[in-house]
A and B are shown apart, each in its own frame.
Chain A
Amino acid sequence: MKRALCALLLSMLATAGHAVDNTPALPTDALQARYRALTHELRCMQCQNESLADSNVSLAADLRLQVRELLIAGKSDAEVRDYMVMRYGEFILFRPRMNWRNSWLWSAPVILLIAGAAVAVRIIRSRLRLLASDDSSLDGFDP
Chain B
Amino acid sequence: MLVELGHFSLVLAMLMSAAQAWFGLAGPALRQPQWSAVAYSAVAGQLLFVGLAAAALLHAFIGNDFSVLYVASNSNSALPTFYRIAAFWGAHEGSLLLWICVLCLWTVAVALRSHHLPRPFASRVLGVLGLVSFGFMLFTLATSNPFRRLLPAALDGRDLNPLLQDFALAVHPPILYAGYVGLSVGFAFACATLIEGRTGQDWARWMRPWTIISWAFLGCGIALGSWWAYYELGWGGYWFWDPVENASFMPWLMATALIHSLAVTDKRGLFKSWTLLLAIGAFSLSLLGTFLVRSGVLVSVHSFAADPARGVFILTFLVIMIGGALSLYAWRAPRLVSSAGFALVSRESMLLFNNILLVVATAVVFGGTLAPLIAETLGLGTLSVGPPYFSPSFMVPVLPLLALLGVGMHARWRRGGLGDARRPVLTIAALAVILGLAICLGAYASRSVLAWVGATLGCWLILSSLIDPVDRMRRKLSLPAAIVGMSMAHIGLGVFVLGVTLVETATVERDVALRAGQGVQLAGYTFTYEGGENIAGPNYNGYRGHVVVTRNGSTVAQLTPEKRNYWVQGSVMTEAGISASWTRDLFAALGEDVGAGAWSLRLQYRPLIRFIWFGALIMAIGGIVTLFDRRYAYASVASAETADATTQRATP
The answer to whether B357 touches A116 (Cβ under 8 A) is: yes
- Judge whether B385 is part of the interface by a CB distance below 8 angstroms: yes
Q: Which of B89, B270, B359, B413 contacts A1 (CB 8 A)?
A: B89
The answer to whether B380 touches A101 (Cβ under 8 A) is: yes
- Taking CB atoms, residues of chain A closer than 8 Å to B162 are 11
- Judge whether B247 is part of the interface by a CB distance below 8 angstroms: yes
Knowing A7-B164, A90-B383, the reply to whether A14 touches B98 (Cβ < 8 A) is no
The answer to whether A6 touches B340 (Cβ under 8 A) is: no
Q: Which of A48, A90, A120, A140 contacts B356 (CB 8 A)?
A: A120
User: Taking CB as reference atom, which chain B residue is nearest A23?
Assistant: B511
Q: State the CA gap A94–B396 with chains docked (Å).
A: 19
* Interface bits B274-298 vs A (CB < 8 Å: 1, else 0): 0000000000000001000110100
User: Taking CB as reference atom, which chain A residue is nearest B266?
Assistant: A140
**How big is chain A's contact interface, by range?**
35 or more
- Taking CB atoms, residues of chain A closer than 8 Å to B200 are none
- Taking CB atoms, residues of chain A closer than 8 Å to B300 are 48
The answer to whether A4 touches B89 (Cβ under 8 A) is: yes
Q: State the CA gap A21–B234 with chains docked (Å).
A: 12
Interface residues, chain B, with chain A CB atoms under 8 Å away: 89-92, 95, 98, 161-164, 169, 172-173, 176-177, 205, 225, 228-229, 233-235, 237, 240, 242-245, 247-248, 263, 266-270, 289, 293-294, 296, 299-300, 339-344, 348-349, 352-353, 356-357, 359-360, 363-364, 367-368, 371, 375, 380-389, 393-394, 396-397, 400, 413-415, 480, 482-483, 485-486, 511-513, 569-574, 589-592, 594, 600-602, 626, 629, 631
The answer to whether B339 touches A19 (Cβ under 8 A) is: no
* Interface bits A104-140 vs B (CB < 8 Å: 1, else 0): 0110111011001101100110011111111010101
- Taking CB atoms, residues of chain A closer than 8 Å to B242 are 3, 6, 48-49
- Taking CB atoms, residues of chain B closer than 8 Å to A92 are 384
Minimum C-beta distance from B631 to chain A (A): 4
Interface residue ranges of A4-40 to B (CB < 8 Å): 4-11, 14, 17-22, 25, 40
Knowing A3-B229, A49-B243, A94-B389, the reply to whether A109 touches B396 (Cβ < 8 A) is yes
- Taking CB atoms, residues of chain A closer than 8 Å to B371 are 96, 105
- Taking CB atoms, residues of chain A closer than 8 Å to B267 are 138, 140-142
The answer to whether A96 touches B594 (Cβ under 8 A) is: no
The answer to whether A19 touches B591 (Cβ under 8 A) is: yes
19 A-B residue pairings within 8 Å (CB atoms):
A2-B248, A5-B294, A18-B233, A20-B602, A22-B594, A41-B388, A43-B384, A51-B386, A90-B382, A94-B385, A96-B371, A96-B385, A108-B367, A109-B397, A116-B356, A140-B631, A141-B267, A142-B480, A143-B483
Q: Which of A6, A124, A141 contacts B299 (CB 8 A)?
A: A6
The answer to whether B243 touches A95 (Cβ under 8 A) is: no
Q: State the CA gap A9–B90 with chains docked (Å).
A: 12
The list of the 10 closest CB pairs from A to B, nearest first, reads A20-B591, A94-B386, A130-B341, A131-B341, A95-B388, A18-B234, A1-B173, A143-B486, A109-B396, A6-B244
The answer to whether B570 touches A1 (Cβ under 8 A) is: no
- Taking CB atoms, residues of chain B closer than 8 Å to A89 are 381-382
Known contacts A132-B341, A141-B629; 16 additional CB pairs below 8 A are A4-B172, A5-B92, A5-B95, A8-B163, A20-B602, A40-B387, A49-B242, A49-B243, A95-B389, A102-B380, A102-B383, A109-B397, A128-B344, A140-B267, A141-B480, A143-B263
- Judge whether A93 is part of the interface by a CB distance below 8 angstroms: yes
The answer to whether A116 touches B360 (Cβ under 8 A) is: yes
- Taking CB atoms, residues of chain B closer than 8 Å to A124 are 342, 344, 349, 352
Knowing A5-B92, A136-B268, A143-B483, the reply to whether A131 touches B592 (Cβ < 8 A) is no
Q: Which of B270, B413, B485, B600 contacts A20 (CB 8 A)?
A: B600
